[in-house]
Chains A and B, each alone.
Chain A
Amino acid sequence: MAWRNLWRYGRRTVTTIAAMTLALLTLIVWTSFVQGFLRDLETTIVEVEIGDVQVYPPDYRTQPSIFDRIGTPTELVDTLGAMGFEASARLLGGGLAAAGEASAGVSLRGVETEQDARVSVVYDRVAQGSWLDPSDPTGVVIGGRLARTLDVGVGDELVLLGQATDGSIANGLYSVRGILAPFSEATDRGGVFLVRQAFLDFFVLPGGAHQVVVRNAADQPLEASAARIRAAAPGLDVLTWRELFPTLATMIDSVESTMYILFFIVYLAIAILLINATLMAVFERIKELGLLKAVGLSPARVVWLILWEGLFQAALAAAAGLILSVPLLFYFTRVGIDLAALGGQISISGIGMDPYMRGVVNPTIFVGPLSAMFVIVLLSMLYPALKAARIKPVEAMRHQ
């Protein structure tokens, strides 16, 4: 429509649209990264290490002891399976690992490989060699830093020492089957994974488990699931990952609120820019608006004229922002940013992060920034629009 011509798209309009585009682009990419970061963090915590919910023998958490065990872990795993939860029983114990002249304190974990694969992707984090195999009971998988401390590689021999439940000195000769990529401080430094039977044999244990790791379906609220698990595991200690790693949980929450703070700051700047640019535009066109009002354009339609103008600019910025975000997101989701290059190993609360920070792409990374932008545009156009609606034709047209 020719009436679009009323608004000369001057340099200021171009600047405004460019600023909105940049803001939108920044927030889309930022949201993509924050969501990617949170996803990676949760994945690292939940999928690799600890699961969503853990079940312990009573008091084990305050005073871990090889003697305190869940007596019938298989039953519990089956019960939880019937409730729709994937679960796996683990055995935990402390000991000493030695190779040649070197030795180090280690934490031993006995897992049933097939069952554990349903709750943890630790098998996927083997940097060298391969994951545990029940057909190779003396094969162990150890943390990367531990391997360096002991100066062992895949295929090398390893002696484990410990206190068996029958009072004897537990010891055995094992071979390094696999070395893990770093994902958590503790595992990296001293984690030794054994197949369940090897663990039982080492400590002379009849059975049981020290920990049952449970996964929660993504669409189920964590606390509600924890309550159901609690009901299914009477007398046992049931904790969510948020309770196990409270600092991590608060950190994740604060990352999310940081995200909104940035939204706020960026859009506040945009709002100020918009209010200023629109007020200037209204002022510049005061004679036009005065004339239009004189010939009978109602105040309400003047408001709409200005609002449409803002929405039109926002629509252009939205289109430009979305189009420009495609190559950026393509790059950032595939390649990511190498944080290691910026400052080495990233570790939060002892949970090591993938040094490559990657974005994610899903509708929410667009919906949030976009809808926020349109709301901001409408809100910040309102004041100039109302001001324009109040223009008195006689004064406006006398304006120089």
Chain B
Amino acid sequence: MSTAQISMPAEFFSQLSVNFKKMPVWAQSTINSILGMSILLFMWWIGGLLIANNPDTEAFADFAPGPALSALWALIGTEFLNDTIISSLERIIYGLFWGIVIGVPLGVLMGYFVGMRQVANMPFQFLRMISPLAWMPIAVLAYDTWDGAIVFLIVMATVWPIVFGTAHGVQRIDPNWFRVARNLGADGFQMLRRVIMPAIAQDVFAGIRLAVGVAWVVLVPAEYLGVTSGLGYAINDARDTLAYDTLAAMVVVIGVIGYLLDAVAVFLIKRYSWHAS
């Protein structure tokens, strides 16, 4: 009788895992994602409790999920939040735009010419390792506006992954693809449009995905300085006004938008990927 009782939970879990494995893959992955988010939320909640119960930190109790999410709920749809998000996205888009305009041609040259690769590899790897924020003093000197300086920092963050992604894509081009296309009467433009661009697209987007990740991470601290709009500014402002619930809400907004930006990049990579599944 006692053995039956002991095996009960074990049986329950083994039954559960059998049933789980029978589910369609999309259902499994959805359940797992919800599980992951629940764990994160739970840890945030625990953290909130610890902060609230410690006399040294109880002033920050509004960091907890309850106040933060209600602050977020109140912010959604407000002009303030919309403007904040739009300012940040604008800077990201400008930065990414210039990162692509500069990075893709450089990457093509690096991928195509061995000599260029040899010359550029060391300096580029070196520059890539410098935190984009380290350029701040130079950016401030070089640009009249804080906005210009921030876009410059984002460009410094985005070019390198785009350069290396593009170069990798170009290196993977099969030289026979050029020969065949030339043989079928392709002119230079057609070669670019039908052969080179589709051949490297997925690697360029993979570079852009990395670039978006770095740019988004760099943007917030960059917006601590000077500017009076954007998510970084909003966080700094919330700290100064002791509005910790708003501060935590902004952190959530940053995470959500970052996730969405990454999802767009992943979609583009999949859309332009030509590798056999």
User: Is B a genuine binding partner of A?
Assistant: no
Residues of B within 8 A of A (CB): none
Chain A residues near B (Cβ < 8 Å): none
